[in-house]
Amino acid sequence: MVKKETPAIVVIGDLVRSRDAPDRANVHARLRAALDAVNDELSPDDPLRVTAGDEYQGTFGRLGDALAATLRLRLALLPELDVRHGIGEGPVVLLQREPRVEDGPGWWVARAAIEEAASRGGKSATREVRTAFHRVEGLDGPEVEMVNAALIGRDGLVGAMSGRSLSVLRGLLAGRTQQEIAAAEGVSASAVSQRVRNDGVGLVVAMDERMRRVG
């Protein structure tokens, strides 16, 4: 039975250039593991799940959680694999429970957002952009363009990081200290500290802390 529309934060994601991967079964296994980990950490209203091919989706109650999820999913797969996301805020309607089928303006603007992310990522000046946010017109909330400006900056910093810096960033977001990360990586604490200061790692951590408070 069709239910009435309810507000939600919709996330639609897909793998970037996954068809070039020689072992697609391994690619999808890694993607599912990343989705499971983010679901465990952030508890979305409707868990992130693969829907078809390289695409996945889910819904959140808060924009900040959706923003955090898109960062963590990208970090779980880089540098070997990459993903892009469209985040949409608006009403959704549950058309069918099993298998789950949803529709509504929230999904439409999320689809427009991932198309925008793909378009920006296809241009040389913004080639590292992987995330975009749209909201249904008339809804209250943080300024859409300000959210997208923050996402462009975040994506650019992450996309420019080396594999070692990405590992440091993952560790900090998981709550580990710089000393613990240094021991795990087999490097000095000062080397980790330099990456945090010089490679944008500390900036992304600070951005994530603030973006998680949104909505």
Please tell me the CATH code under which domain 6-142 is placed: 3.30.70.270
The amino acid present at 212, given as its one-letter code, is R
Q: Please state the domain extents for the chain.
A: 6-142
- C-alpha span between 169 and 166 (Å, rounded): 5
- pTM of this prediction exceeds 0.85: yes
Can you give the pLDDT of all 215 residues of the chain as single tens digits? 456 678 899 999 999 987 777 788 899 999 999 999 999 999 999 999 999 888 999 999 999 999 999 999 999 999 999 999 999 999 998 766 777 667 799 999 999 999 999 999 999 999 999 999 999 998 888 899 999 999 999 999 999 999 999 999 999 999 999 999 999 999 999 999 999 999 999 999 999 999 999 97
Report the candidate in 27, 133, 114, 132 with the shortest Cα–Cα distance to residue 76: 27
